[in-house]
């Protein structure tokens, strides 16, 4: 029987699911016997690392504890830890290694793992995730967008009865995505996707900390000073969870100078303080419907994913914007279960047991490009413009070739650029330049020499760009990879000039 894992490597929590002997996804409990593991890595020394709950518990009072690093994947961010610098990629690799080792201790080597990523993750962040998985010792790995995985889990849980267009509202610990998917039984096709990269449960925790601090000030008549009180982010998160089922919670703060300070926190106060956050999610949903040209009455249903959907105000917002009750079926684990199902879909069928094959063979799946990708070229007036090669929303995998021409006689350098943007954009200053590499050209040629540019975007959502000067036949291949070293912003580690 194949060992197939789905890993929801979330900003604040990590959840792992596997395909069981009957072919159904089941959540794998972590080393503490829990379904949900805090995404946290703590260094006790240069060599000793603690992962998960224990690390999270240390987070408020130690320098070498790292959480929320997913938000910085694929960027140049790095942190000092015992004489070296660690990147979000390093931290993700440590987290994934622990997950792999724990899963393998119970069920033998992993045959295939699927890691979920936010739909709006940049190309560099996707590459960094794949590299982290490789360093964690996971052999064969694929990725899937989180909302799509959730849709797959819901379609599977409905017993193949899902039919029509669904919205997937995914509010996790650190990111928010909303997608439109068409489901026909176990056949799931992503139609549109949009996200807010820095919006999640974490932002609600921050607001709640402010509320608790204000309560402290009201009770004792002075500000809460750093180190004075033992109420930290982890406590705020737990309080937020309790406020999802209760109207108010009484917290007994212990202050070094004032002793026991009782503070009552009401759900209404949290809701008032987080109205702006909820409104951002609502606006993104309205934007998706508008841009996809779909009226909300055309939806067959709304799926929720991400633990932060447990907040009543979030559910009310979903109802408001989509005009219907969302389906709430284990939103915290839906993404991991969907990822495990996708692992079964991508696995070599010969590896699956007959029962696993029977339960998962009906899965069909179609994902789309989450960004526009293009290159910079001169227009007729000699002005630089962004030329889109792969459009957001195109079905994956996609490979497209366009021909461009050199601009000047005896042009000796061709600047090969790859751009990424959220909307179709011709202004170069409005797009993200993800790679820029210079290709030397032979001397003495007239202008207008053709250069063939091929962009390919694969099923894991990773982009590859090839620039080929047809005169010499020499291709310059840019494989977009994250350096993960904290150096610079150029996410190119391998450039081939054959
Ligand atoms: P995810 O990344 O999807 O696991 O979502 C994690 C986020 O969901 C974190 O911000 C959690 O604090 C939040 N969360 C989990 N359970 C609840 C709950 N009962 N009420 C409010 N937020 C929750």
pLDDT tens, 203-248? 999 999 999 999 999 999 999 887 788 888 889 999 999 999 999 9
Average pLDDT value over all residues in the chain: 90
Q: Taking the alpha carbons of 266, 271, 274, 277 in that order, is the dihedral positive or negative? A: positive
Query: Does the beta carbon of 12 sit less than 6 angstroms from any atom of ligand 1?
Result: yes
Same fold, 4-199+277-366 and 372-493: no
Task: Please tell me what DSSP assigns to residue 139.
Answer: -
Q: Taking the alpha carbons of 83, 84, 88, 93 in that order, is the dihedral positive or negative? A: negative
Distance in angstroms (rounded) separating the CA atoms of residues 161 and 171: 25
Query: Does the beta carbon of 89 sit less than 6 angstroms from any atom of ligand 1?
Result: no
Q: How far is the CA of 429 from the centre of ligand 1 (A)?
A: 37
Query: Does the beta carbon of 240 sit less than 6 angstroms from any atom of ligand 1?
Result: yes
The β-bridge partners of 398 are 457
Does the domain at 372-493 match CATH 2.60.34.10? Answer given as yes
Q: How far is the CA of 334 from the centre of ligand 1 (A)?
A: 13
Query: Does the beta carbon of 330 sit less than 6 angstroms from any atom of ligand 1?
Result: no
pTM, two decimals, is 0.85
Query: Does the beta carbon of 173 sit less than 6 angstroms from any atom of ligand 1?
Result: yes
Q: How far is the CA of 235 from the centre of ligand 1 (A)?
A: 13
Task: Tell whether the model's pLDDT for residue 364 goes beyond 50.
Answer: yes
* Axis-axis angle for helices 312-322, 275-292 (nearest 10): 30
Residue 480 pLDDT level (bands cut at 50, 70, 90): low
Q: How far is the CA of 332 from the centre of ligand 1 (A)?
A: 7
Contact between 179 and 148 (Cβ < 8 Å):
yes
What tens digit of pLDDT does each residue of 408-455 get? 999 999 999 999 998 899 999 999 888 888 888 999 999 999 999 999
Helix, strand, or coil (residue 146): helix
Q: How far is the CA of 119 from the centre of ligand 1 (A)?
A: 18
Q: Map out the domains of the chain as residue ranges.
A: 4-199+277-366, 201-273, 372-493
Query: Does the beta carbon of 146 sit less than 6 angstroms from any atom of ligand 1?
Result: no
Distance in angstroms (rounded) separating the CA atoms of residues 331 and 75: 29
Q: May I ask the CATH architecture of the domain 4-199+277-366? A: 2-Layer Sandwich (3.30)
Greater pLDDT, 197 or 493: 197
Which is the closest atom of ligand 1 to the Cα of 171? 3
Does the domain at 201-273 match CATH 3.90.640.10? Answer given as yes
Q: How far is the CA of 95 from the centre of ligand 1 (A)?
A: 19
What tens digit of pLDDT does each residue of 110-158 get? 999 999 998 878 888 998 999 999 999 999 999 998 888 999 999 888 8
Query: Does the beta carbon of 75 sit less than 6 angstroms from any atom of ligand 1?
Result: no
Query: Does the beta carbon of 328 sit less than 6 angstroms from any atom of ligand 1?
Result: no
- Number of other residues whose CB lies within 10 A of the CB of residue 188: 29
Nearest to 172 by CA among 39, 31, 354: 39
């Amino acid at each position: 029987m194949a060992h197939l894992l789905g890993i929801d490597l979330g900003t604040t929590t990590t959840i792992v699911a596997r395909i069981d002997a009957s072919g159904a996804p089941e959540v794998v409990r972590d080393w503490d016997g829990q379904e949900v593991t805090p995404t946290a890595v703590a260094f006790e020394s240069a060599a000793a690392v603690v992962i998960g709950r224990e690390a999270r518990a240390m987070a408020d009072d130690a320098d070498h504890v790292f959480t929320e690093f997913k938000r910085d994947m694929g960027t140049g961010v790095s942190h000092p830890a015992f004489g070296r610098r660690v990147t979000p990629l390093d931290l993700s690799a440590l987290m994934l290694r622990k997950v792999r080792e724990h899963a393998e201790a119970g069920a033998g080597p992993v045959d295939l793992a699927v890691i979920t990523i936010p739909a709006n993750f940049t190309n560099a962040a996707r590459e960094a995730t794949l590299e982290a998985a490789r360093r964690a010792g996971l052999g064969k790995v694929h990725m899937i967008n989180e909302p799509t995985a959730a849709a797959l889990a819901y379609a599977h849980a409905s017993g193949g009865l899902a039919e029509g267009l669904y919205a997937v509202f995914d509010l996790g610990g650190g990111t928010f995505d909303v997608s439109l998917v068409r489901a026909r039984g176990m056949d799931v096709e992503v139609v549109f996707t949009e996200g807010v990269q820095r919006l999640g449960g974490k932002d609600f925790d921050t607001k709640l900390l402010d509320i608790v601090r204000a309560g402290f000030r009201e009770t004792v008549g002075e500000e809460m000073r750093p180190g004075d009180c033992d109420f930290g982010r982890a406590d705020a998160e737990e309080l937020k969870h309790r406020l999802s089922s209760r109207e108010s919670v009484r917290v007994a703060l212990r202050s070094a100078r004032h002793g026991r300070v009782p503070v009552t926190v009401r759900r209404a106060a949290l809701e008032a303080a987080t109205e702006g956050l909820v409104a951002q999610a609502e606006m993104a949903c309205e934007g998706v419907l508008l841009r996809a040209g779909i009226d909300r009455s055309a939806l067959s249903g709304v799926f929720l994913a991400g633990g932060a959907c447990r907040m009543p105000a979030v559910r009310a917002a979903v109802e408001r914007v989509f005009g219907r009750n969302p389906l709430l079926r284990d939103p915290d684990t839906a993404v991991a279960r969907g990822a495990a199902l996708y692992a079964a879909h991508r696995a070599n069928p010969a590896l699956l047991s007959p029962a696993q094959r029977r339960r998962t063979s009906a899965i069909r799946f179609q994902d789309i490009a989450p960004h526009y990708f293009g290159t910079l070229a001169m227009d007729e007036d000699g002005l630089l413009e962004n030329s889109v090669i792969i459009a957001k929303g195109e079905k994956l995998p996609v490979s497209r070739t366009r021909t461009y021409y050199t601009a000047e006689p005896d042009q000796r350098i061709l600047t090969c650029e790859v751009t990424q943007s959220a909307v179709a954009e011709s202004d170069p200053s409005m797009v993200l330049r993800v790679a820029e590499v210079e290709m030397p050209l032979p001397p003495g040629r007239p202008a207008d020499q053709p250069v063939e540019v091929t962009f390919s975007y694969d099923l894991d959502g990773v982009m590859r760009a090839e620039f080929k000067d047809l005169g010499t036949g020499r291709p310059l291949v840019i494989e977009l990879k994250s350096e993960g070293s904290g150096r610079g912003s150029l996410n190119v580690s391998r450039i081939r000039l054959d």
